[in-house]
Structure 1
């Protein structure tokens, strides 16, 4: 499975494709056609529409919105810092779960923007959890230190959580609202420090 993820990540980096993964709870045809700009990699998207709320922000970021209420699967993970994090324990806070790996180029590209998004909103309760599917924590810690990433990071070496969330390509991100329901899914990298991403988080914080 990890080999398939590596191949898919390489294909996404080479062809700048977004949305090649399948998310089990979504139905075909649910996504609106994406512009060429929003299908580019995270360092070069262009957004032109105004942002007036969560729905419009999600459209600007080309996120998949669930067609029906879907409770996010609960889990408890050990963080590389030594602490633990339980998803259900974050109720009352919006949570962004990002599946990634150190060998995934698009994952590495979007990490600095994710850090900026996290730093901007963490004091208001925003939680960002990056779940690495690397085979060993010794591969992850040096990367975090080198890039000065401060958000919580967990290791999913056996890919149990990745399989639970239907991850078929990296990066894959799942935005959970304050009540524990799936709010949106991003398949592929995003510009997480774009105004639309900040508006999205602010909207979920206000709900």
Structure 2
């Protein structure tokens, strides 16, 4: 069983790398769909409802413990969260795994200052059509999806920052 788990993790990691041929889309306000609302349990305790973040720019990041690019990206997201916290930007991580036992160890290795949500039933990840790990969705102050980034390569955080700055300037 342990061998199967390790093999699956390696296969999943390879899939992440293959998907690293990233997809990014930036939408104009008039053509932007509303971000579907959800309420998920926070790893830190309590629940978080996405629509309660209206008035803020939200960077919503879907990730998994087995995803190598996610491990590389997470510290960069934490830097963005800290840099923009006082400017009305909220970073939210959404773990998409049905079993959460690895989340504690992951966050011990890579501590973050932003909320981590647990999507154990894949409600949010299905609603947002998450097809690659990681997937980052940037939502404007009115709750509209303004950009979508699938996969991650070092330097993508600059794209996120450009999107955030553009939305803060609106």
The verdict on a shared fold, with TM-score over 0.5 as the criterion, is: yes
Q: Which residue of 108, 133, 144 maps to 1:145?
A: 108
Residue in structure 1 matched with residue 26 of structure 2 by the alignment:
65
Residue in structure 2 matched with residue 128 of structure 1 by the alignment:
91
TM-score w.r.t. the length of structure 2 is 0.83
CA drift of 1:93 comes to 0.2
Residue in structure 2 matched with residue 183 of structure 1 by the alignment:
146
Structure with the bigger percentage of helix: 2
What are the ranges of 5 or more consecutive residues in structure 1 without an aligned counterpart? 20-62
Residue in structure 2 matched with residue 160 of structure 1 by the alignment:
123
What is the rounded CA distance, in whole Å, between the counterparts of 2:100 and 2:86 in structure 1? 27
Correspondence 1:206 to 2:136: no
TM-score w.r.t. the length of structure 1 is 0.69
Are 1:65 and 1:184, in contact at CA under 8 Å, matched by a contact in 2? yes
What is the rounded CA distance, in whole Å, between the counterparts of 2:139 and 2:102 in structure 1? 27
What is the rounded CA distance, in whole Å, between the counterparts of 1:203 and 1:129 in structure 2? 19
Correspondence 1:13 to 2:21: no
Deviations 1:80-138 (A, max 9, x none): 01022111111110001111100011111111111111110012221111111123232
Cα distance change of structure 1 residues 200 and 7 upon mapping to structure 2, 3 Å threshold: same
Q: Which residue of 18, 21, 37 maps to 1:74?
A: 37
Give aligned pairs, total. Answer: 160
Query: Deviating runs (4+, > 6 A) in structure 1?
Result: none
What is the rounded CA distance, in whole Å, between the counterparts of 1:95 and 1:5 in structure 2? 30
Are 1:8 and 1:170, in contact at CA under 8 Å, matched by a contact in 2? no
Q: RMSD between aligned alpha carbons?
A: 2.3
Q: Which residue of 54, 67, 70 maps to 1:107?
A: 70
What is the rounded CA distance, in whole Å, between the counterparts of 2:162 and 2:110 in structure 1? 25
Are 1:96 and 1:176, in contact at CA under 8 Å, matched by a contact in 2? yes
CA drift of 1:66 comes to 3.2
What are the ranges of 5 or more consecutive residues in structure 2 without an aligned counterpart? 1-7
What is the rounded CA distance, in whole Å, between the counterparts of 1:119 and 1:156 in structure 2? 24
